[in-house]
Amino acid sequence: MLRVLREVEVRGRYESTRRLRSTIGSVFCYAVGTAQAPNDLTFALQGALTKPTVTPSKPGP
């Protein structure tokens, strides 16, 4: 899973990587809740990915 997320991250798509990890985490949360998976694998990836930088937008005229 980290390999797939890194492929997106390498392209500079940090926000997309964060959203993708979040979506995959939601799937794992459901899988754990329905006894289809033992745990959420994305939890361990939270610090492994580059955080997106927030650029404040300029106010309009």
pLDDT in tens, 4-32: 999 999 999 999 999 999 999 999 999 99
Kindly list the distances between the CA atom of residue 25 and the CA atoms of 14, 33, 46, 48, in Å, as whole numbers in the listed order. Answer: 16, 12, 10, 14
Predicted confidence band of residue 61 (pLDDT cuts 50, 70, 90): low
Domain of residue 26 covers 2-45
Q: Give the span between the Cα atoms of 52 and 9, in whole angstroms.
A: 10
Residue 61 lies in a domain: no
Number of domains, the chain: 1
Residue 12 lies in a domain: yes
This prediction has a pTM of 0.76
Per-residue DSSP letters for 7-23? HHHHTT-HHHHHHHHHH
Residue 51 lies in a domain: no
Residue 35 lies in a domain: yes
Q: What is the DSSP letter of 44?
A: G
Q: Give the span between the Cα atoms of 38 and 4, in whole angstroms.
A: 21
